[in-house]
Structure 1
């Protein structure tokens, strides 16, 4: 929106709008200050002056007049002077009360009417006190303390309370006016704060908007020119917004870019056609050169292949002869191996038979040791019975008393012998059990050795058969090597005949390759010139429609 306004007018708006806002804030401040002055005038006229009259009336009626009466009662003043002084004080109080009645705004209120009545009663009380009763004497009631104090308390005290209520009423009204003034002051302060804040924020916002409306188009033009300089893209265009000086500059820049784009595009098309012709000539030359190089390479490879084939055939013939000799040696070695495997097989069979015989002997030993264990068990049972009989004999000898002592000694010896026999039997049984365990281990070892010997026999039989098969294969290889040797001699004769033709073909292809290389060099120079021209022109992008890349 601001882009439609001229830049000088925007600057005028930047200064004029904040000044207008400042004037409005000052006018509002003046209006609020006037209202506050009116409140102060009302406070003075309606409350402070009225309050002054009330206080003066209260002081005159309650203090000054009573002081004159007290002077008379104490004998310090005469009746005439007292009457004159009190009347003057009451006259002054009446004038102030009249001023209060004229200034008050709520004369019809009950409190004001009560105050008027009590003021009249107070004046009447003083006039009653001032009635003369002699040549130099006033009403005798004022000489009675109890009477005076009672009348002062009844009438003047009640009037004093009413005046205090009026004073408090005026103070409350003054406080209300003060509160209104405080509200105006607060409103004025808020107006200053809010108005100043809005004015500052509005000015800043307006300045920011105007700054953006000027800076963004200029920044857009700057970015556009930098982009054209960095990217060499003549398709970029400025997008004019509004009708200010920057937009007019952007439109002029777009027109200039259109002229440059058309010129560069024409040069690019011409360079493209020239580059196409040069590329086609270079392609044809490259194809001819490549074909000649391929033919030369293939001829060289063919010659090399024939040479390698001749060498390979010769090598095959030599290797075939060597292989036949090695095959004969392998046949002889296989025959010797078959003989050695047969001898080993007979030896292993004899070993297996001996191991079987030894295993049978150890098994019989294990059986006999088991029989010994049975005999030892019988002997141990007999020893236990003898021990039991000796124990019974000892018991009977003990019953016989002295006559059986000799028999008891024999019984003890028999028992000791029985224990020794049992201990020996236990030792023998332990040895027999160890012998049985060792015999069992020996039997197990012999069985495993016998099984391994049998496996060795089976392996020897398999090895013998394998060697027989190898010998047959070696004999077949020897026969094939003889056939290969004859065939390689025939192939070597044929390859020697083709090698001379390949030499002549290689010379012709080499000459063609030189001619194709010269043609390719000339085509490359022409293509280089065309490519150089096109590369300089193609630095600028002109083939597409203009792009509004930057905003001005």
Structure 2
């Protein structure tokens, strides 16, 4: 029953019980040793604080008795010299005082001496010392007198009766000291004996506790080691890939049993986890193949997109160059229109002069003829300029149409550019209509100028006819100036529109370049994605190889049915290959 209870205890409790038994025996030995140590300590304290001071006091008492007697004898023999007399007298007084101190010390240690010394002898010794002290005082009074008779009597008393008392005192002191020394020796022997007993008790308690603790520890260690070996064998089997062993079963309830349960649970969890990981690895392998195919398709589409964006960028650059050329021609046309307007204003000034100064009508008519002829030539030049503007408008319309077509191909990204192309086309159409009107007006002007030339060639019939002709010429010049201003304004609008169109074309070209660059970056990232896919595939293969080292069930495969390890993903072609 007790062994069953011991088996069911936890490992920490078993170790605590073994340690507690060992500590109990050590404590018992320590208590016994402590009791003997206390007895030895009490003896040592009594010996050092009572007996030894009493022995020293008796020794000092004998010395003081001898010193006082020697001081009196020296005083009697050498007291003639005052200095020597004072010195010996001081020694006597000091010996007397210290003797009283020693007597008081012996009296205070009387209770301690009562256990070892015959108190009758001690009392006789103290009584004899008091008598001896009184005799010395009598000798001192006689010696310190002034007469030689008193000195002689004092010396006789010191050598006679006082010396006899000293002999009896010395004999009693010797007897008492011998008794005290014998008692002290016995105390020392008892102290040594107690020390030996203390060591014996300590060794016995330590040996018994160690032996019992060793037995308990051996039993506990055997059980623990046996359980740990079983758990270690099972852990080694799991490490070698065997997950099919039966669960461990131990007959105790300690921490090792808890460890065995944890190993059983770990084996079960590993069995389930390895099976799940096998299925996941096969799925990852299949997904890697799909990802490889998707990467190949993405690379092909990216390559096609890059080619299309490159073509669009080239077209945008060509359109930008054409628009810049249109803008340059528009600026030249504006300069020519301004020059024509200046020429028309000059003709108007001439007509005004003809109206003001009729005296020089003939000269004015000739000048007017010349001016009208020059105006006809310049009108022909304006016709050429208008034709150039009309041709530019037609080209601009054609370019706008092509840009609209390219914008339609670009889809959502070319919508803004299509709007700009439509505006440019409308401006080109307006320019063409305006140039047609200008051409018609200039043709009318040329007809008028030809009539004026014919009229001037036939001569001036009357001044009024000349004035009328001059007036009509002034009106024609005014219309020419107005038409020239309109042409100048229209050409300026064409130049502004061409500039805006060039800026829009430049921005569109930059956007196409950005799209092309993004496509190139996407294509450049495809090899890295290919590497990642290959790494995932390799990892799945290694995982399946490691999973294959474990045995879960005889009839259960690690991989899902229908899935197999593919040799590896095909490399995705890099951009530009």
TM-score range, shorter chain: 0.3 to 0.5
Q: Higher Cα Rg: structure 1 or 2? A: 1
Q: TM-score with structure 1 length normalisation?
A: 0.36
